[in-house]
Amino acid sequence: MNRLNAIRFGICLTITLVSCAHVSADNPRETPIVRAVKRAKASVVNIHTEKTTYSADSLFNSKKDRKVNGMGTGIIIDPRGYIVTNYHVVNGVNPKALRVTLFDGSTYFAKKLASDPRRDLALIKIESTKELQVMPLGTSSDLMLGETVIAVGNAYGYEHTVTCGIVSYLSRDVEVNEKQSYENLIQTDASINPGNSGGPLLNLNGEVIGINVAIRQGAQRIGFAIPIDSAREVIASLMNQKITHTFHGVIAHDVKTATIKQMIVDSNRANSPAALAGFQKGDIILKANNYQIHDRADFERSLLGVNEGDKLTIEITRNSQKMSLLISLSKKPDHLGTRTLAKQQVNKTRNIQVLDQSAWSTFGFKLTPLPASEKARLTGFQYRGGLKVLKIRNNSPASKYGIQAGDILVGLHIWETTSGDDISYILKHPQLKSFNPMRFHVHRDGQTLFGHLRLNLNDRLALRNE
């Protein structure tokens, strides 16, 4: 078996344990919590919404409109007015009644730009008359169980409510209903209430390390937040796919630790602006369009408002040497129908060779050897091959953690997956239980994506020939 030579990657969780007893020598009342809130408070916004519901009129047996006011919280991620919140905060709201109130009391109407229902995140924007303060960015890669955290939000409509608690569990999976589930959440006992959704979970440095998303109904002080490193991955994707109209072709990954925040280039799309500009694997992007770059979300944010043909200077580090590259963005390629075509191709493969049926019971996917034409496309990404995902079983680990039919599986745990023998080796490995949750890498639409499969190895489903 060869170790997976794929995208390096990391999503864990972060925060900092500091006793509230430590105070400022100048002002004994100014605790670390007070200083953290002071640093972050201007970057928290209160969101007010209005939805229309319908109820039956018993007299005339017709439907009547009823206006319902909602509330939520958001985090400023760009001084031009870009804000991240939860999808469920803005889903189905009246677009003309979506309002944002800043810490100084000023109010603006907001526009919904993009959303990811499965990850429960959305981007909205206000046209502010002034440059806004961006939330200090932390990392969720070094979270400590028991460390102090702070939640700020529009709790029950009480704007900018501050609560304090600890990290009470790491990497919690929560199933809300048949349509919504979350993986890898931060659990906290800081009071999270209706209206806190979309707001920040802070560490004692005043940095956002999570986005508050849910509470446990009927419980006391059990709340959950999306790790900020995971959220930033989604933010980058939303900006790249649904907001910007230009194309760069850089394929990269983020490295996040307590002391390092870097965007590292893995490869370029063929004939893309990035390829023409000369980006190479291992380049660390430092600055783009005069924006400091800490991760892919920063990079995509730096390109907002940039037009096709505009030339930008990108500062990088290559082999410990600083240098600049000039990139000219192009029009975004039209990939419309790519996923539909993949599904049509899958439907035509009923009689194709299916590899290692045990993968169906353990992971919930069926695999087939990769056609030579598709295998050739992977060489530019430094993969020797992969396995095509034919089908996904409902409610399986593959289904829950984002693998789709048509994906190319290029790695599991630390090994590449180029044949059925590779899958069999992993499934029969004596230390399989220690790999759980198991990291996976898939190639989809020209990008390498990753995630973690949480497996129930003590209760495998019986094999089914479907």
- In the beta sheet, which residues pair with residue 416? 411
For 166, the enclosing helix (H) or strand (E) is strand 158-175
Phi, psi for residue 416 in degrees, rounded to 5: -80, 155
CB atoms within 10 A of CB 231: 26
pLDDT score of 379: 57
Which amino acid is present at 367?
L
pLDDT score of 178: 63
Q: What is the DSSP letter of 3?
A: B
pLDDT score of 344: 40
pLDDT score of 23: 55
* Full set of structural domains in the chain with CATH: 42-58+65-126 (2.40.10.10), 244-331 (2.30.42.10), 338-453 (2.30.42.10)
pLDDT score of 354: 57
pLDDT score of 261: 92
Residue 24: CA count within 13 A, CB half-sphere: 10
Please give the C-alpha separations between residue 271 and each of 1, 92, 116, 211, in angstroms, as whole numbers. 33, 40, 29, 37
In the chain the first and final C-alpha atoms are separated, in Å, by 30
**Structure token digits, residue 71:** 């509330």
Give the contacts of 297 (CB within 8 A, at least 6 positions apart): 77, 232, 233, 235, 236, 239
Give catalytic residues, as residue numbers.
88, 120, 197
Residues of the chain with pLDDT under 50: 5-21, 56-62, 336-352, 459-466
Beta-strand runs (E) in 117-157: 121-126, 148-155
| C-alpha to C-alpha distance for 70 and 233, rounded to whole angstroms | 27
Report the candidate in 258, 319, 335, 244 with the shortest Cα–Cα distance to residue 288.
Answer: 244
Q: At 240, is the secondary structure helix, strand, or coil?
A: helix
Distance of CA 231 to the CA centre of its chain: 4
Q: What is the DSSP letter of 137?
A: B
